[in-house]
Amino acid sequence: MKILITCRPTTGHFLPLVPLARVALELGHQVAFASAEPVVHQARSAGFVVFQAGQEDGVSMRALIASGVDFFGLPATQMRPVAFRSLFSKLEAPARLPDLLRICKDFLPNIILHEVAELAAPVLGARLGLPWVTVGFGPLLKPEVADMAAEGAAPMWRENGLEPLRWAGLYHHLYVDPCPPAMQIPAVADLPARTGIRPARVGSRQPLQKRIKIYLTFGTLWNTGPAAVERMRIAVAGAAAVGVPLIVTVGNATNPEILGPQPSHVQVHQFIAQDEILADCACVLAHGGGGTLLGSLGWGVPLLLLPQFGDQFDNADRAVAAGVALAIQRDHLSVEAVTTALNRLLQEPRFAERAGVVQQELSAMPDARGVFERIETLARGAAARMTSNS
């Protein structure tokens, strides 16, 4: 079987697809990624075949801002709707689709995998008569946001001679859901076909009294620029004041020295794989991206979330509602607020207990190999129908 995997050109949208891609290779299938930089380099470095498709990260964002939309100045509640209604659907996907069609002429995939913000894949699959699988990276999109994605993508569907599908076609064949039930929204029950998938690693935690470290990260994307660095400085100062060992990662694009001298119990690195840190962490301080959030809960670690952009606000809302996190919004961020919230997470057992419950939920979800059995069944069924119709 040949599998084409496509995503937006950002690390956080690429990484959720990697476990499925690796399992596909282990099972003897052919896999190719299609995206733009920096994902082209990341996928190639990880050993995957990769094709260039669409615009590099930042090109479409600059086009959106040039159109008069002050994206980074939007209220938190408007960022994700604008991204799906305009950025992902009207600017990125139409620029990516011609490249994907060209790639498919040579690669001839049997099935397409894509992440939930890559809106060209459903059009590609519908045009070629191929099934597609949508992979999530957090709680399900709110239905109203999926409706906005459909509105924005509708001209692309019609330009390709297709009738637009509900919710931009995102859940038409199969949705791969990484979100634990405690954090999921009720609308997930309306999807026609869905399977859970647990994080690549669900660890066994040390006893609560042996977990003493705090891990602080702003992920792979939202850690550059003066505003992000200032937020990180505030977060580090607040976490350092707690007085327990603190490990900080600032990202490969940022020099650790930018945070200045730190106390002896604070270590600052560019990057460490989070699974190497989380086993003995008492809590995580993060921006609220899906990878860090679900990765931490996979080790049963509660979080303090400082959402900055996009899906991070929805993720924080769901995590707080599930009792596994506290959140500080941008307008209320201060050294004192961070210290107070971290002390609550460390001193009130209910947060670790709830994180342990969610960890158990994640443990019960299928692993990537189990999910891929569903994908193989979908592809075989589609191939059989095409054969019978030919």
Same-domain pairing of 168 and 218: no
Tell me phi and psi for residue 340, to 5 degrees.
Answer: -60, -45
- The answer to whether residue 342 is domain-embedded is yes
pLDDT at 205 over 60: no
The pLDDT tens digits for 84-98 are 999 999 999 999 999
Number of domains, the chain = 2
- The answer to whether residue 190 is domain-embedded is yes
The pLDDT tens digits for 32-49 are 999 999 999 999 999 999
Q: CATH number for the domain including 354? A: 3.40.50.2000
Same-domain pairing of 286 and 346: yes
Q: How many CB atoms lie within 10 A of CB 45?
A: 10
Same-domain pairing of 193 and 222: no
- The answer to whether residue 202 is domain-embedded is no
Position 133 scores a pLDDT of: 98
The pLDDT tens digits for 351-388 are 999 999 999 999 999 999 999 999 999 998 887 776 66
Same-domain pairing of 87 and 6: yes
- CA-nearest of 135, 142, 155 to 6 is 135
Reading the block at residue 143, the tokens are 């239905």
Same-domain pairing of 233 and 330: yes
Position 58 scores a pLDDT of: 85
Position 220 scores a pLDDT of: 58
Q: Which range marks the domain in which residue 354 is found?
A: 208-364
- The answer to whether residue 235 is domain-embedded is yes
Same-domain pairing of 172 and 286: no
Same-domain pairing of 358 and 369: no
Same-domain pairing of 168 and 179: yes
Same-domain pairing of 173 and 259: no
- The answer to whether residue 43 is domain-embedded is yes
Same-domain pairing of 275 and 306: yes
Residue 122 CA to residue 370 CA, distance in Å, equals 23
Q: How many CB atoms lie within 10 A of CB 92?
A: 27
Same-domain pairing of 15 and 153: yes
Same-domain pairing of 90 and 235: no
- The answer to whether residue 203 is domain-embedded is no
Q: How far is CA 106 from CA 101, 176, 213, 249, 250, in A?
A: 9, 27, 50, 41, 40
